[in-house]
Structure 1
Amino acid sequence: MYIEDFSGVEKTGVAIANYLLGAIETIGPSNVLQVVTDKAANYKAAGKEIEKVHKHIFWSPCCVHTLNLLFKDFSTSFYWLMTTYKRGKVVEKYFLNHNHALTMFRDNSTLELLKVAKTRFASYYVLSRRLMDCRKDLSTIISLNSWRDWVKQGDGNTKIIGSKVVKTIRSEEF
C-alpha cells in the first residue's frame, strides 16, 4: 500500500519497503533503476526486499550520508581535527550570536559565515573551509578599535569568549 504521508509511521524495514514499493508502482517499475537511502539496518532491509520484488532495481546506501559518517569518524579519530573544529565552532557561534560582531563581519567580508549542523554533509569540513576563506577578514575585524571597544563593553561571558575568538583567529595552528 502506498502512503502519501510517511510521518508518524514506525520506520521498520517492512514499512519502508511497503512505502517504497507503493511509490515504485505509482511511478512504474520500468522507470526505476535504483533506490538510495541512508545505510541504517531498516533501510538496508527495505532495499533487499525491493530487490527481491523487482530484480532490475537495486538498493544502495547514500554516498553523501556515507561520506558524512566517514568525516565524523575522522573527527573522532584525530584529536587535532576535533579540537580545530570545536575552536572554529566557537568563532562561528560568537559572530552569528552577537549582532554587533556579525555586522562588523558583514561590513568587512564579501562572504557569509555558514551555520552548519552536524547532521549536514561534511559539516566539519564546511565550517573549517569557510573560516579559512574568511580568515583575512576575521583578522581585520579583531584588529579594529571598534571590535576592541565593543568586546570591552560586553558582559563577562562576552569578554571571555571574545578573548578565545581572538586567540583562535590569531593562532597559526588554527
Structure 2
Amino acid sequence: MELAELVDAENLPAAVVQLLIRRDLTVATAESLTAGLLAATLAEVPGASGTLQGGVVAYQNHVKERLLGVDPGLLARAGAVDAEVARQMAEGARHVTGADVGISTTGVAGPEAHQGKPVGTVYVGLAGMPGHAEPEAVLLHLEGDREAIRRDTVRRGLQMVQARLTRWA
C-alpha cells in the first residue's frame, strides 16, 4: 500500500510515522490543548520508537515558559492561544528533545471561551519541517465538545505533517 493511500483517520498516524522514518526525521510534541493525546496517538503505531523522541505537556503558561522557552512577555500580551505561541512551542519541543520536527497544539476546547477566544479556536504549530525555513502555525476553527475538538486537533495536525512531508521529496 502506498503512503498516499493512507489518508483515513484510522491509518493517518501510521502514515505519518512511516513518512518520518522514511525521511530519517525525528519528531517531538509540545501539547497544551491535547495534553499528550498527539504523542500518545503517534506512540500507538508499531515502530514509532524509530521517530518519536518525546513530548511535553505544557497545559499551564509557566510550563510553556520554563520547559519550552515560550516568551513570557508574549504569553502576557497574547495569551496561550496564539499563532506565535504555537510556533515557539513547536520550536521548544525540538530544542528540548533534539528532534528534527516539532508539533505543537494550543487552543480552547471548552466548555467556555478562554481569554476572549471562542471554543474551537486552535493553533497547530510546526517547526523544522523540510522546505519550511521558519516555524509556522495554522489557525483552525473546530466544532464539537471537548473530546471532539481535542481529537480533531490531533487529526488535523497529523494531516498537516503528512501533507508537508508528502510534498517534500
Both proteins in one fold, TM over 0.5:
no
More RCO (CA 8 Å, sep 6+): 2
Which is strand-richer, 1 or 2?
Answer: 2
Q: Which TM-score applies when normalising by structure 1?
A: 0.28
* Structure with the higher helix share, 1 or 2: 1
